[in-house]
Amino acid sequence: MKFEDYRISLEIKENLSILGFRRPTDIQYKAITPILKGDDVLAIAQTGTGKTAAFAIPVIDIIHQLKRSSRSESIYCLVMVPTRELALQITEVFQILCQHTRVKTACVFGGVDQDPQISKLKSGVDILVATPGRMFDLVSQGHILLDQIQILVLDEADHMLALGFIKDIRQLIHHLPKNRQTLFFSATINPEIKELAYSLVTNPIRIEISPKNPVAKNVTHSVAFIEMDAKRFFLERLIKENPESKILVFVRTKVRAERVFKAMERVEIKCLTIHGDKEQKDRMDVMNRFKSGEVKILIASDVSSRGIDIPDVDYVINYDLPDVAENYVHRVGRTGRGIRKGLAISFCSPEEKPMLDEIEEFLGQKINALIIDKEEYTTTIDLSLDNPNDWKALLLEDAQNVKPKKKKKK
């Protein structure tokens, strides 16, 4: 089935065609029709499977058709997400798909001045993408009214629970009409998520896109065994051997992010960092520069692993293995998005081997190991611009320190 075969507006079909989307992914194929019919949906789908478009396409069409016959100042659809990065990414998808339709989308999240967001709300919004904190602030101030919401979307529900937003979700329900359509999307399912989901949905269509391998089929992933102190040399080599590739590097902490940034700076590699210590304005600037390709290397902490949705990331590098096995799937899922192919490589030091064991247990299979022979390993370090044992540089330094001998007077 192709998108042109769906009973959706011509404007949306044209937008999809411009984007190069011809056929739906599995989650889109299974979700779009039930959502268009008005059914509640409980969907379990991996990251990178196209789930944002799976709910965005039908939601936009429903609202576009409604606005043909009536005009309303109320918000039709609320999309709740756990992080501001994800909020921005989802809003962008909606805005692209909303072009030439009657549907208006806005986004509210914390960490920035609320006045521009309030101004946008006053101008009229059909779809609101929001993080819990800022949304409840604006509800309490009377800038957001939820009593006319017709569609509720909870995206990345498992991550929302992990961040402690379950009380916010339950509080939200008291503000919404009982007769609404609820779309619940999560990458994983466990008893707590299942209990929450079934307390929100009514006779849902359950969709599960979860093959035996939790990593999306478009991603080829492997592990390289590298000493902790040598990781920077191998990252340098990979980047320099792939100068045109967009590369996303994951580290464990914000401190590590800055250290790796400085290491790359020393070898004349231009890169950016994104982590929890950066102001929202700076984070948005970093994402825009990475997305546009102005800078091709982005070093990120785990805080950002679910908020980065750049369609054309060629490589994901796990410079540090994640502390939580499940985060491995979310990290490598930043490449191979939609129908594109992607590569992910994890650097594993001896002290990280227990983490690798946990990840492989979570995946239910071994990760393919890259064989690096001793000569190749040594050469990678020797050829680095940051190599402290660079004998050529040492000889040059010695030569510069040798004072020329004075000629004897005759």
How large is the average pLDDT for residues 164-179? 87
What does the pLDDT read at residue 265?
Answer: 93
Q: What is the pLDDT of residues 78-128, one digit of tens each?
A: 999 988 888 988 999 999 999 999 899 999 999 889 999 999 999 999 999
Residue 347 lies in a domain: yes
Residues found in the chain: 410
CATH of the domain at 15: 3.40.50.300
Q: Are residues 343 and 361 in the same domain?
A: yes
Over the stretch 174-183, which tens digit does the pLDDT of each residue have?
889 989 999 9
Same domain, 45 and 157: yes
Chain centroid offset of residue 331 CA:
8
Q: Do 172 and 259 fall into the same domain?
A: no
pTM recorded for the entire structure = 0.69
Distance (Å, rounded) from C-alpha 315 to C-alpha 346?
A: 11
Query: How far apart are the C-alpha atoms of 134 and 140, rounded to whole Å?
Result: 10
CA distances from 321 to 286, 345, 355, 360 (A): 23, 10, 7, 12
247-250 β-sheet, strand order: 272-274, 297-300, 247-250, 315-318, 342-348, 219-225, 368-370
Q: Are 34 and 27 in contact (CB under 8 A)?
A: no
CA 101/CA 3 separation, integer angstroms = 17
The torsion angles phi and psi of 257, rounded to 5 degrees, stand at: -60, -45
Q: Are residues 180 and 106 in the same domain?
A: yes
* Residue 391 pLDDT grade (very low, low, confident, very high; cuts 50, 70, 90): very low
Whole-number Cα distances in Å, 403 to 58, 400, 410: 77, 8, 21
Q: Which two tokens stand for residue 370?
A: 């890259």
**Helices 132-140 & 166-173, crossing angle to 10 degrees?**
40
Is the per-residue pLDDT at 313 higher than 80? yes
Q: Which residues pair with 186 in a beta bridge?
A: 44
Domain membership of residue 299 as a residue range: 219-387
Q: Is the domain of 199 the same as that of 258?
A: no
